[in-house]
Amino acid sequence: MLRHLPSVDALVREIASPLPTSIITEIARRSIDEARARLTAGEDVDARSLVDGRLSKMERTRPHRIINATGVLLHTNLGRAPLAPTAAEAARRAATGYGNLEFDLSTGRRGGRAGYAKELLLNLTGGEAAMVVGNNAGALLLTLAALGGDGEVPVSRGELIEIGGSYRLPELMAASHARMVEVGTTNRTRRADYENALTDNTSLLLKVHPSNYRVMGFSEDTSLTDLIEVGRKHKVPFAFDVGSGLLDDNVPWVEGPPPTWLKDEPGVKQALAAGTDIVTFSGDKLLGGPQAGIVVGRADLVERMANHPIARALRIDGSNLAALSATLELYANGRGSEVPFWSMATRPYEDLEKRLSRLQTAIGGEIRQGSSVPGAGSVPGAELATPVLALSDVKVDRVWDRLLAEKTPVVARRDAGELIIDLRAVPDSDDDAVLSALEAACR
């Protein structure tokens, strides 16, 4: 049997794969070595099958465009917020050519990074100054390192958050060298708890919006107004990590009153207007832009942060900065509804139902009322009424696997033995692809 093993070169010539030849060659070599060892041990094994299995697994790790039929609009595992076309084009231009990233066209000399994005942020939020880093964890780390320093930072026990990827606030604070002082209890923290924790070593007051969970029942939270007053009274800066990045809780870019599912979500503009010294938030959640960490607030504090040694290590790259500026421009021009997240979140129920009817006609199933969620650890507990197509008379796991194996994979939702198709996050232009994938998967 060993003499029938193909050579590496012969095997590579037979394979059609989008992977680099060097990768295919290495996989072929390892597969032949494994086949030789297993044949020697008396097993019946085919080298080509080993190669095909490894290639298939690696090909699935390549970046793929995916159709998100889960009903989770900001799906962290699928890349969070899709960009508006103008933002995607701005990122493409920045990535494929030179630009004025740190070049002042008026003087012909070196300039600062993110100048235009900062001006847009000030216009939209009313802050005195702004800066942009790579993500919101970086923005909070920089806040703690630059303003907390080696001092004490009181924070409510109910806000010691953990989000995806085992990111924990206490560990981030330890990395910043600020000393965390826990105040209150998990479910009740009062103004007096903060005031009693203040010492001569207190360097910063911190509030963190728990954007991926909600404390309910017998609970009490210290109001933003109270924390601002405590900070001013004792001359201690107050920072508020709002996390999800709702620019304005009036949501003026959406027709009619603010959506009810946003009623507990803090607005950046309102937090600053109330007197918060520093506000941090994400660019790729409710803002609907690229991954970024945004800081707005008092000019003297932002300057301290910008001058801190780790600020350079955390800075945003040129392509994401261009996409962020283009996204902010949409809001500044009164066109925030064109940001994909908001167009998805406000799609009429009847339109989604009509699109599902076409799928139902082709593959069956039951259209029923379901719910979509914002996702990405934002607006905990919020649900958007959405029609869904439930497939129960299929082998759910097999159909699920076949949908993932499509050239453009379709990610649906499995729930209680049913396959659920939710089109709220699916562009109309992808309906044909979804239908084709479902027809093939359900055969």
Written as six digits, the tokens of 362 are: 């082709």
**Tell me, what's the pLDDT at 1?**
63
CATH at 243: 3.40.640.10
Contact 423, 348 (CB under 8 A): no
3-state secondary structure of 34: helix
Same domain, 100 and 8: no
Same domain, 270 and 416: no
Output the average pLDDT for the chain.
Answer: 92
Same domain, 247 and 190: yes
Q: Mean pLDDT over residues 14-37, rounded?
A: 92
Name the E strands within 217-353.
Answer: 238-243, 278-282, 293-297
**Tell me, what's the pLDDT at 312?**
94
Q: Which of 297, 320, 336 is the last residue of a domain?
A: 336
Closest CA to 403 of 362, 430, 438: 438
Label residue 108 by pLDDT band (50, 70, 90).
very high
User: Which of 191-195, 311-315, 436-440 has the lowest average pLDDT?
Assistant: 191-195
Instruction: Please enumerate in sequence order all residues whose Cβ is within 8 A of that of 105, keeping only pairs 6 or more positions apart, or say none.
Output: none
- Percentage of the chain beyond pLDDT 90 is 77
- Residue that wins the pLDDT comparison between 434 and 215: 434
| Distance between start and end Cα atoms, the chain | 38
CA 50 to chain centre: 36
Instruction: Please enumerate in sequence order all residues whose Cβ is within 8 A of that of 25, keeping only pairs 6 or more positions apart, or say none.
Output: 8, 12
Q: Mean pLDDT over residues 205-212, rounded?
A: 82
Task: Quickly list H helices, 180-308.
Answer: 191-197, 224-233, 268-274, 299-306
User: Which of 57-71, 110-124, 201-215, 304-318 has the lowest average pLDDT?
Assistant: 201-215
Same domain, 302 and 176: yes
**Block residue for tokens 């070595």:** 33
- Percentage of the chain beyond pLDDT 70 is 96
Question: HSE on the CB side for 400, CA within 13 Å?
Answer: 14
**Block residue for tokens 């009490």:** 220
**Tell me, what's the pLDDT at 236?**
97
Rounded Cα distance, 200 and 393, in Å: 67
Range of the domain at 26: 2-59
Same domain, 31 and 139: no
Same domain, 315 and 369: no
**Tell me, what's the pLDDT at 95?**
97
CA 335 to chain centre: 22
CATH at 355: 3.90.1150.180
Label residue 216 by pLDDT band (50, 70, 90).
low
Q: pLDDT by residue (tens digit) across 171-196?
A: 888 889 999 988 888 778 888 888 98
Contact 282, 243 (CB under 8 A): yes
C-alpha dist (Å) from residue 432 to 367, 372, 435, 439: 18, 21, 5, 11
Count: domains in the chain: 3
Same domain, 238 and 356: no
**Tell me, what's the pLDDT at 191?**
86
Q: Per-residue b/e over 161-171, b at no fewer than 16 CB within 10 Å? A: bebeeeeebee
Quote the crossing angle between the two packed helices 21-40 and 47-59, to the nearest 10°: 140
Rounded Cα distance, 353 and 367, in Å: 8
Q: Which of 307, 336, 365 is the last residue of a domain?
A: 336
Q: pLDDT by residue (tens digit) across 354-387?
A: 999 999 999 999 999 999 999 887 888 889 999 9
**Block residue for tokens 């453009």:** 408
Same domain, 180 and 212: yes
Contact 72, 375 (CB under 8 A): yes
- Residue that wins the pLDDT comparison between 170 and 277: 277
**Tell me, what's the pLDDT at 189?**
83
**Tell me, what's the pLDDT at 317?**
96
Same domain, 37 and 106: no
Global pTM exceeds 0.85: yes
Same domain, 360 and 291: no
**Tell me, what's the pLDDT at 264?**
87
Q: pLDDT by residue (tens digit) across 130-157?
A: 999 999 999 999 999 999 988 999 999 8
Same domain, 320 and 253: yes
Cross-strand pairs, 414: 419
Q: Which of 336, 352, 371 is the last residue of a domain?
A: 336
Contact 39, 2 (CB under 8 A): yes
Same domain, 352 and 300: no
Closest CA to 120 of 411, 315, 323, 351: 323
Label residue 313 by pLDDT band (50, 70, 90).
very high
**Tell me, what's the pLDDT at 372?**
97
